[in-house]
Amino acid sequence: MSGFAACDLRDAGHVVVFTGAGVSAESGIPTFRDALTGLWARYDPAALATAEAFERDPALVWGWYEWRRAKVLSAAPNAAHQAIAELAQRVPKLTVVTQNVDDLHERAGSQDVLHLHGSLHASRCFDCAQPHELPLLVPEHPEAGQRIEPPLCRHCHGMVRPGVVWFGESLPELAWERALEAARSCDLLLSVGTSGLVQPAAEIPRIALRHGAQVVHINLQPEPVNGIREYTLAGRAAQVLPTLLAQVSGQ
pLDDT (tens digit, 9 = 90+) per residue, 48-69?
A: 899 999 999 999 999 999 989 9
pLDDT at 143: 67
pLDDT higher at 122 or 226: 122
Can you tell me the mean pLDDT for 113-123?
A: 97
pLDDT at 210 over 90: yes
pLDDT at 136: 79
**What would the pLDDT profile of 130-182 be if each residue is shown by its tens digit?**
999 998 777 776 665 678 999 999 999 999 999 999 999 999 999 999 999 99
pLDDT at 35 over 70: no
Instruction: Supply the residues annotated as catalytic.
Output: 117
From residue 199, give the alpha-carbon distance in Å to each of 116, 202, 208, 221: 11, 5, 15, 20
Domains by residue range for the chain, with CATH: 1-28+76-118+171-251 (3.40.50.1220), 30-74+124-161 (3.30.1600.10)
Can you tell me the mean pLDDT for 201-230?
A: 91
pLDDT at 39: 67
pLDDT at 6: 63
